[in-house]
C-alpha cells in the first residue's frame, strides 16, 4: 500500500465529465520487421511477460473513507490483463485521418477507477500494413517522462527482444476502512510540521522572487490570469479533436544552431506561428501575446523509473504579436530564459509541497462545480494552451519484433484552455500530437499542418547566405573552453555553435592529456592568444587546468562547470574522498598515472548518455600520466579574477557535496538540475552564461 502524493492525487480531483486527466500515446508499428508472424496474441504475451517493468499497470486505486486523505495504490489482487487490452480495426482506407478520428473517440472515454488506470487498444487495418497501439494511462500514475520511461521499458532495441528477467510481483489484499483510516491518520499527523516547512520555504521564495524581478532589467514571465481570451479559452465539452504530424528533428536543430536557441525554443516558435495562422484564418484578432503553460520535469536520476509525477510548470509568452518569425523565436528564447530563472527561484518542489495539503473531498467537489457552472467562461484565462516537449530515444525501438515508426502523444486539455500540443522526439524525427476540444477547435489538423509550415519558414531563414565579415575591432572578446579528462573539443560543439550565433569569438582547446603540465601549457597558450578580458571555462579536470593556466593572465572571468576549483597545493582527490561519487569506483591513481575501468565508468557515469557520445569517450579511456605535480602550484586564477561555479546536482562524477564545497569559493554560484555533461544537455544555457560575462 502506497499513498499517492498530493500532486498525483490532484489529477484525480481535477477530473470532471468534460475534462479527463489521462494521457495517451499512439504508437505506429511496422510488423514487417518481426522475426515471426506478428499477431495480437504475440503482443499480449509480450505485455504479460513485462508487467513487472511497468509497475503502475498492476496498481489499483483505493479511496480513503470520507475523503480525509489522498487515496492509496495497492497491487491489485484481481488484476486481469485481458480487461485492459482491446483489439479493433480502423475504418478504411486506414489513413492518418481515419486513425485520428478513432483515437479521439477512444481517448474521450474515462478510465474505470475500480481497475488499474490504463488500457491499450491494438488497432489493425492501417495503410502500409502498419499496426497502431493506443495506450491510455491516468496522469495520477505517470507524467510525460515516467510515461516515456515505461514505454521504452516495454519495448526492445532489437527485433529479437531481450531477457526481461523473472516476475516476482506479489498482490496485496484490499485494505478495509479501519486500515485506510489508520494509515491516513498516521500520515496526517505529520502535516503540521510539513506545513510549517512549506510556509517558511514559500515565504523566503516569494521575497527572493520579488527582489529578483525588481532588480532584473528583463521583463518577468507572464502571470496567471493575464492571458488574452481566444476562441478555445472557454469551458470544455467531453468531445475531442485530434491530429498528428511528424517533422524533421535535424531541421529543427539547424534552426536551433543558427539562431543560438534551444530545441524547445524552436518548438515553441513553431507552435506560435501555427496559432497565428489559425487565428488569422478565422479572422480572429488577438492584440496580446498568447501565453503557454510549459510542464517541466524535476525528476532526478535517483527517481528514474519510480513512476508518478515529478513535474513543475512555468508560464511563457509565445510573442505572437511579433510578425517576423526569427524575431519571434529570439523573443520566445529570451522569455523562456526568464521563465526558467523565475522557476529556479520558485524551486522545483514548491508545487509538490502545496499539493500535499489539498483536501480530497473539497478539491473534487470544487473541480466539478467549476465545470458544471462553466466558470472558465467568466474569468480571464489562466493561460491559453499547454505545450509539452518530451525527449525520446535516438535509436529504433521494437514491440514484439515490430519496428516503432512513430509515437504520437495525446495530452489532456483543461477547462479554459482547450488546446494541448505535445511533441515527442524519436530517432531523427519530432512526433507532434495536437488535442483540442471539438466544440472550441473543430479541426485540429489546421494547427498540426501549420507546425510543418512554421518549421519550413524558420529553416529557410536559417539557411546560410554569403559569409559575413566582421572587423576585429567589432568582435567581442574571446571565450576559451577547456574540456575534462577523457573528453575532447567535440564535447563543446553545441556551446561553440550557440556562442558563434551571438557573435562571440570562441575557441575550444584540445588538451594533449599526456600530463598535467602539458595540459596546462596547451590551455595557457590559448588563453594568451585570446587576450585581455577573455572568459575562460573549464569542465571537470579542466577546472584545475584553468586554475593554473590562467594564473597571472588578464582574464575577465574564470568559470568552473561542475569542475575542480582547487586551491594552491590542493589535490582534487581530497574533495573526491571527502565527498565520494559513483565514479570513484571507476578511477585509480598510481604514481601520478590516472587509469579508469571502462566497464565501471560506463555503468556509474555514462549509462544514460547518447550511445554516440559513449563511443567517443571510450576511445579516450587510456591511462593519463599526470605527473607528480597534479596540484595547482601557483596562486589559482580564481583568486585573481572574478569567478563563477556551476553546480550540477545530478553529477555522478563530482558529487554535489564536493561541488558545493568548492563553489563556496566563487563570486557567483549557479545551480542546474543536470548531470556531468551539461555541455550536451544545456549548451545554450552555458553559452548564455558565458556571453553574459564577455
Active site residue 139: yes
Look at residues 31, 17, 26, 15 and name the one whose alpha carbon lies nearest to residue 101.
Answer: 26
Read off the C-alpha cell for 541.
579536470
What contacts 78, CB < 8 A, 6 or more positions away? 60
Cα separations in angstroms, 347 against 153, 296, 309: 30, 12, 16
Cβ pair 374, 23 in contact under 8 A = no
Q: Which grid cell sits at 524?
A: 595557457
CB atoms within 10 A of CB 206: 12
The position carrying cell 479572422 is 283
Q: Helix H segments across 246-320?
A: 249-259, 263-282
List the end-to-end C-alpha distance of the chain, in Å, as a whole number: 55
- What residues are paired with 246 via a beta bridge? 431
Q: Which residues pair with 464 in a beta bridge?
A: none
Q: Which listed residue (22, 69, 84, 139) is catalytic?
A: 139
Q: CA torsion angle for 38, 41, 42, 44 (degrees, to 10)?
A: 130
Q: What residues are paired with 316 via a beta bridge?
A: 292
DSSP string, 615-670: HHHHHT-S-EE--TT-SB-S--GGGTS-EEEEEETT-SSS-HHHHHHHHTTSSEEE
Distance, CA of 451 to CA of 276 (rounded, Å): 11
Sort 431 into a burial class: Cβ within 10 Å, 0-12 / 13-18 / 19+.
buried
C-alpha–C-alpha distance, residues 365 and 682, integer Å:
42
Helix axes 541-549, 516-530, angle to 10 degrees: 60
Which helix H or strand E contains 238, and what residues bound it? none
Q: Which parts of 541-642 are beta strand (E)?
A: 557-563, 587-590, 593-596, 624-625
Catalytic residue annotation: 139
Amino acid at each position: 500500500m502506497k499513498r499517492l502524493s498530493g500532486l498525483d492525487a490532484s489529477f484525480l480531483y481535477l477530473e470532471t465529465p468534460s475534462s479527463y486527466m489521462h494521457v495517451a500515446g499512439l504508437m505506429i508499428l511496422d510488423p514487417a520487421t518481426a522475426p515471426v508472424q506478428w499477431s495480437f496474441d504475440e503482443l499480449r504475451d509480450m505485455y504479460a511477460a513485462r508487467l513487472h517493468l511497468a509497475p503502475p499497470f498492476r496498481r489499483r486505486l483505493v479511496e480513503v473513507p470520507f475523503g480525509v486523505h489522498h487515496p492509496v495504490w495497492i497491487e491489485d489482487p484481481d488484476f486481469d490483463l485481458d480487461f485492459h487490452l482491446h483489439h479493433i480495426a480502423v475504418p478504411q482506407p486506414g489513413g492518418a485521418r481515419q486513425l485520428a478520428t478513432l483515437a479521439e473517440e477512444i481517448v474521450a472515454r474515462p478510465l474505470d477507477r475500480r481497475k488499474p488506470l490504463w488500457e491499450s487498444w491494438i488497432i489493425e487495418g492501417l495503410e502500409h500494413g502498419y499496426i497502431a497501439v493506443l495506450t491510455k494511462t491516468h496522469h495520477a500514475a505517470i507524467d510525460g517522462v515516467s510515461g516515456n520511461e515505461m514505454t521504452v521499458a516495454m519495448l526492445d532495441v532489437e527485433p529479437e527482444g531481450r531477457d526481461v528477467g523473472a516476475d516476482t510481483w506479489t498482490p496485496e489484499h484490499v485494505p478495509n476502512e479501519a486500515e485506510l483510516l489508520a494509515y491516513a491518520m498516521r500520515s496526517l499527523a505529520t502535516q503540521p510540521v510539513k506545513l510549517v516547512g512549506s510556509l517558511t520555504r514559500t515565504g523566503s521564495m516569494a521575497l527572493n522572487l520579488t527582489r529578483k524581478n525588481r532588480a532584473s532589467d528583463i521583463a518577468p514571465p507572464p502571470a496567471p490570469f493575464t492571458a488574452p481570451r481566444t476562441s478555445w479559452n472557454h469551458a470544455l465539452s467531453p468531445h475531442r479533436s485530434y491530429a498528428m504530424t511528424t517533422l524533421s528533428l535535424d531541421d529543427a536543430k539547424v534552426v536551433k544552431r543558427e539562431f543560438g536557441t534551444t530545441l524547445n525554443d524552436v518548438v515553441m516558435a513553431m507552435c506560435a506561428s501555427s496559432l497565428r495562422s489559425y487565428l488569422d484564418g478565422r479572422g480572429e484578432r488577438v492584440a496580446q501575446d498568447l501565453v503557454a503553460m510549459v510542464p517541466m520535469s524535476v525528476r532526478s536520476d535517483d527517481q528514474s523509473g519510480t513512476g508518478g509525477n515529478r513535474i513543475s510548470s512555468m508560464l511563457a509568452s509565445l510573442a505572437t504579436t511579433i510578425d517576423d518569425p526569427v524575431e519571434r523565436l529570439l523573443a520566445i528564447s529570451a522569455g523562456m530564459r526568464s521563465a526558467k530563472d523565475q522557476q529556479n527561484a520558485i524551486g522545483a518542489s514548491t508545487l509538490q509541497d502545496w499539493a500535499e495539503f489539498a483536501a480530497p473531498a473539497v478539491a473534487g467537489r470544487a473541480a466539478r462545480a467549476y465545470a458544471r457552472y462553466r466558470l472558465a467562461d467568466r474569468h480571464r484565462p489562466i493561460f491559453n494552451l499547454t505545450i509539452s516537449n518530451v525527449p525520446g530515444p535516438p535509436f529504433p525501438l521494437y514491440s514484439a519484433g515490430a519496428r516503432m515508426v512513430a509515437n504520437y502523444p495525446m495530452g489532456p486539455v483543461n477547462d479554459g484552455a482547450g488546446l494541448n500540443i505535445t511533441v515527442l522526439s524519436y530517432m531523427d524525427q519530432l512526433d507532434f500530437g495536437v488535442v483540442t476540444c471539438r466544440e472550441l477547435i473543430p479541426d485540429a489538423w489546421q494547427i498540426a499542418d501549420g507546425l510543418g509550415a512554421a518549421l519550413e519558414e524558420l529553416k529557410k531563414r536559417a539557411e546560410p547566405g554569403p559569409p559575413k565579415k566582421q572587423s576585429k575591432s567589432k568582435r567581442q572578446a574571446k571565450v576559451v573552453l577547456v574540456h575534462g579528462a577523457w573528453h575532447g573539443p567535440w564535447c563543446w560543439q553545441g556551446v561553440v555553435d550557440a556562442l558563434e550565433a551571438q557573435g562571440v569569438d570562441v575557441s575550444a582547446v584540445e588538451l594533449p592529456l599526456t600530463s598535467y603540465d602539458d595540459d596546462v601549457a596547451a590551455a595557457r597558450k590559448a588563453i594568451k592568444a585570446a587576450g585581455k578580458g577573455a572568459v575562460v571555462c573549464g569542465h571537470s579536470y579542466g577546472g584545475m587546468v584553468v586554475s593554473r593556466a590562467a594564473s597571472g593572465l588578464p582574464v575577465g572571468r574564470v568559470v568552473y562547470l561542475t569542475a575542480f576549483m582547487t586551491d594552491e597545493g590542493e589535490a582534487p582527490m581530497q574533495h573526491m574522498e571527502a565527498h565520494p561519487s559513483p565514479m570513484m569506483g571507476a578511477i585509480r591513481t598510481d604514481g601520478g598515472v590516472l587509469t579508469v575501468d571502462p566497464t565501471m565508468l560506463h555503468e556509474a557515469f555514462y549509462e544514460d548518455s547518447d550511445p554516440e557520445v559513449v563511443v567517443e569517450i571510450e576511445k579516450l579511456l587510456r591511462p593519463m600520466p599526470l605527473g607528480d605535480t597534479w596540484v595547482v602550484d601557483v596562486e589559482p586564477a580564481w583568486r585573481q579574477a572574478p569567478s563563477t561555479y556551476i553546480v550540477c546536482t545530478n553529477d555522478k562524477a563530482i558529487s554535489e557535496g564536493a561541488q558545493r564545497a568548492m563553489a563556496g569559493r566563487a563570486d557567483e554560484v549557479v545551480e542546474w538540475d543536470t548531470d556531468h555533461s551539461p555541455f550536451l544537455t544545456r549548451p545554450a544555457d552555458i553559452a548564455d552564461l558565458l556571453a553574459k560575462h564577455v
